[in-house]
Amino acid sequence: MIVKNPNEIKSSEITDEKTYLNRRNFIRAGLLAGTTLATAGVYRFINPPPPKEVVTAEIQNIIQPPDFRAEEKLNSFEEITNYNNFYEFSTSKTAVARRAENFVTRPWAIEVGGLVQKPKTFAIEDLLKFEQEERIYRFRCVEGWSMVIPWVGFPLKKILDAVEPLGAAKYVAFETLYDSAQMQSSFSAGIDLPYLEGLRLDEAAHPLTILATGLYGKLMPNQNGAPVRLVVPWKYGFKSIKSIVKISLTEKEPPTTWNIAAPSEYGFYSNVNPNVRHPRWSQATENHIGEYTRRPTLPFNGYAEQVESLYSDMNLKKYF
């Protein structure tokens, strides 16, 4: 397996329970105007610094794989949990944490079916068992803005192997929870809900594609996609669907939310590609949260060595 060498460590070595339960102290929010750069600066100013035990040099060294761009530091717990895209709760990145605070994530289950030999429903407790030895994936995530996040999770391939895909299966479709009692309407979100996403089967089975159930060694915060979300680090962040309740294996390419909303702007693949311009802005640079200048966007978000072979026969400007 090629996984950028994720380390295996216990939760207790990352962040204590007090820090996790005190995450409400980080939520000061409000709708902040201005550019992404200005917004990032303002919320850092109005929020207190994260507890020292969250981002220490010792933790940086523990979960930093030796072959993964050692010069990059983790974003703080505060930054990761206070600047989020989650349209089911808000279209404002700085308002999601507050609006998702009371989101109910227990009980929870994911139904896995479609073109499989053994369809199965996995309770969240079943998924957590896949982390007998918790795995920390220190991935860069990019969506015009970027962060370095220590996800806790396991390869999606474990789920796929458990249900045994049939030979006709070529794609994997995902669906998020939509509960109108807890979430805003499709009209307010500006997109059809529930949120839909999809991957090609070989993408889904790649060892860098994970189901994440936490970050910083703790259970996933609501605003980051509790209780379980997809993380595909070489693609733009909207591909990493949150709060998953259904996974289906299909023969045909499944519909995806942003491709439905704006097919000329959001393709099925959505690989990070600085050479493909979005119709309304350049994707050649990105704003890394915590920095004040934009940086060049890396092909496949820096994971080209691991994943570019998946697309060796494709025109990535046509299949964007």
Residues at the annotated binding site for Mo-molybdopterin?
A: 84, 87-88, 141, 176, 224, 229, 240-242
Binding-site residue positions: 84, 87-88, 141, 176, 224, 229, 240-242
Closest by CA position to 196, among listed 206, 207, 187, 186: 186
Give the C-alpha separation, 169 to 294, whole Å. 41
Beta bridge partners, 139, equal 149
Distance, CA of 82 to CA of 67 (rounded, Å): 29
Q: Which amino acid appears at position 146 of this protein?
A: S
- Tell me, rounded to whole angstroms, the distance of Cα 28 from its chain centroid: 23
Q: Nearest Cα to 135, choosing from 41, 191, 183, 65? A: 65
Amino acid at 78: E
Q: State how far the Cα of 27 lies from the Cα of 197, in Å rounded to an integer.
A: 29
Q: What share of the chain is helix, strand, coil (3-state, %, to 5)?
A: 25, 25, 50
Consecutive H or E run containing 147: strand 145-155
Report the C-alpha gap between 269 and 257 in whole angstroms: 13
Name which of 84, 79, 67, 81 is nearest 7 in CA terms. 67
